[in-house]
Structure 1
């Protein structure tokens, strides 16, 4: 019995040793596995602020390298306005005398010359005016001769003073009528010196007072025109100028001769150059603005525009120099501004910068002192790389 117990204990003890050995081996295997490096741990994490470019990418993207430079920046007074012409370059044409429009063939935009017939009007009353003139002209010759004869007789005491005064009065009255009718015919565009009974007419022509373009046409064939009715507006665009309005607070900064950048409201990319010609001395009390008149630097630009076109202007006042980069070198990401600093031939690092004023495609770098004077930046093609 005792031998059986000893064998049983020996068997249990052996199994225990075997179990312990298995556990030790398992633990060793586990430790060995844990020492095997993970494949992911061997991969370096990329720095999002570092960008690497190949020479091919640099060339195909037309990229450029540059440094911070000192650029002039102007204090800008912004203004709105339009293109306009001087008062003498625009004429509202109407007939001096009422009548019916007989002929008119102009279209808006047609070019006209000074003295050219714009339209014709007809009225029987024109005939009466010409008749009265010819009658006054005929009487005047006789009355003038009689007046001079009575004057000589009066000097010789041959005639009475009454006869002389009567002749003088009739001559003076008829002369006034003649001169008045002569002026009236001139306004009718009828030459009184060539008028005779054979060429009396009921139709008169209305000429253009200036050269330019027919910009507005209100008259139509058969329409009855009163002297106060504007039939056609003629505009000469040769002296097209800039009319802007600034707020009264900006008046002390604006002076004659200052540059103006002009942009059309529907085309903000093209900039046209002008300069301040005249600053009004009166303030519009309704909107508290001041009128500014300017001239286009390039007179040929006037052919591109028409009076009444709305524009946005920037009057460049005082000038200050600041360190700056081209605007293409700076990208805005959630109101933070970044540039790409060159680290070597193929690597660029994204860096936060502080910006200030903008002018002439340059932007002020407020923290320029944070960079060495020889630091190079990606000045063209940086925006897409920074925002990717």
Structure 2
């Protein structure tokens, strides 16, 4: 029966030398892997190693961005929405037109600006004339002061009206009697993704109305919630492993960056964590996360696991535990399994699937225990996922 399985394995490997499936003996716990399958799928053998696992603090939190990376766009003055073409999820550039508002008051504001601008040269000339006459004792001080007041009032009014027009995205410098508009453009204050659109065409919006919300997700981070009793265990730089509830098999890396200094009404403290580089491609602002913070002093090696795939810690303490890379362990039906090498031959590898128990996890490694499992055991540490089957 063994020869038949080996023969089938050789046949399968010739048909699909880099296939993901290996042959399984009728006993159910023996897997035969051909050399072609082993090399073609990037499989790797290794040994369990003794590692000191950090104390783990399990917390929850969300994906968030800094306040300056989030913007709510509202109207400077109320008006009717003449146009808006954005949808949730659209990407916008800083300064991109996102909506247009219409209000007759915009026309009055432009008219007031033009009238004041046209009156200013006369008031300025009258002010200079009265100043000269007053200096020559020809006119009264009252006339001079009145002319000065009229000129400076007009100057201030012109500046104020111009600033209001700029807030509404009108250009006072190009404003002429023939190009007055009742339509004000609304532009994006930051680049990012549209997360909310709260208006429709024709709706009236006030200054309190949130037209759209834009989030720049170039600098997403973790905002974790830690209970008061645990905050004394945290240090800047401690490593974090986190996952999304709906993607529990995918782990991401981060580290503690800031620790809050005030306790909220629910007796918790906010902890800000930065994500590792190249992390965050599939993460969205607002997502809920579950995180594991490795406690201890970062950078000193105290209570920290090695990041090497195969190297053991020389200074492993008596409390160190046998460990394997997380990729070597496959869990099915609530039971964890690994593949142990029984025999390596010219025609391939004979592996036995054995059940194990798992413990703490840290930096890609998991503590393991099992019958006959030791540092001398040879284990398939890479490529086991598609080969292990539930009994």
Q: TM-score, normalised by structure 1?
A: 0.73
CA RMSD across the alignment: 3.9
Change in CA separation of 1:207 and 1:325 when aligned onto 2, cut-off 3 Å = closer
2-side partners of 1:171 and 1:224: how far apart?
38
1:143 equivalenced with 2:123 (yes/no) = yes
1:289 equivalent in structure 2? 268
Work out which of the residue numbers 52, 64, 68 in structure 2 matches 1:88. Answer: 68
Work out which of the residue numbers 316, 322, 331 in structure 1 matches 2:294. Answer: 316
Question: Aligned runs of 1:14-29 on 2, under 5 Å?
Answer: none
Work out which of the residue numbers 216, 224, 229 in structure 1 matches 2:204. Answer: 224
SS of the residue aligned with 1:276?
A: strand
Q: How many positions carry a matched residue from both structures?
A: 331
Work out which of the residue numbers 237, 248, 252 in structure 2 matches 1:268. Answer: 248
1:124 equivalenced with 2:125 (yes/no) = no
Work out which of the residue numbers 301, 304, 322 in structure 1 matches 2:282. Answer: 304
Q: Is the 8 A contact 1:259 1:275 kept in 2?
A: yes
Q: Post-superposition shift, 1:355?
A: 7.2
Question: Aligned runs of 1:135-174 on 2, under 5 Å?
Answer: 135-174=115-154
1:376 equivalenced with 2:355 (yes/no) = no
SS of the residue aligned with 1:304?
A: coil
Change in CA separation of 1:251 and 1:197 when aligned onto 2, cut-off 3 Å = same
Change in CA separation of 1:116 and 1:351 when aligned onto 2, cut-off 3 Å = closer
Q: Is the 8 A contact 2:48 2:374 kept in 1?
A: no
SS of the residue aligned with 1:74?
A: coil
Q: Post-superposition shift, 1:76?
A: 1.4
Q: Is the 8 A contact 1:331 1:386 kept in 2?
A: no
SS of the residue aligned with 1:301?
A: coil
Q: Is the 8 A contact 2:197 2:212 kept in 1?
A: yes
Q: Post-superposition shift, 1:145?
A: 1.4
2-side partners of 1:115 and 1:345: how far apart?
65
Change in CA separation of 1:348 and 1:168 when aligned onto 2, cut-off 3 Å = closer
Work out which of the residue numbers 328, 349, 360 in structure 2 matches 1:357. Answer: 360
1-side partners of 2:54 and 2:65: how far apart?
29
Q: Post-superposition shift, 1:387?
A: 8.9
* Deviation per residue, 1:112-142 (Å, 9 max, x gap): 1111111111111111111111111111111
Greater mean alpha carbon deviation, residues 314-323 or residues 134-143: 314-323
Q: Post-superposition shift, 1:198?
A: 0.7
SS of the residue aligned with 1:189?
A: coil
Question: Aligned runs of 1:199-210 on 2, under 5 Å?
Answer: 199-210=179-190
Q: Post-superposition shift, 1:182?
A: 0.7
Change in CA separation of 1:364 and 1:308 when aligned onto 2, cut-off 3 Å = closer
Structure 2 unmatched runs, 5+: 1-26, 297-302, 305-315
* Deviation per residue, 1:10-35 (Å, 9 max, x gap): xxxxxxxxxxxxxxxxxxxxxxxxxx
1:247 equivalent in structure 2? 227
2-side partners of 1:197 and 1:210: how far apart?
33
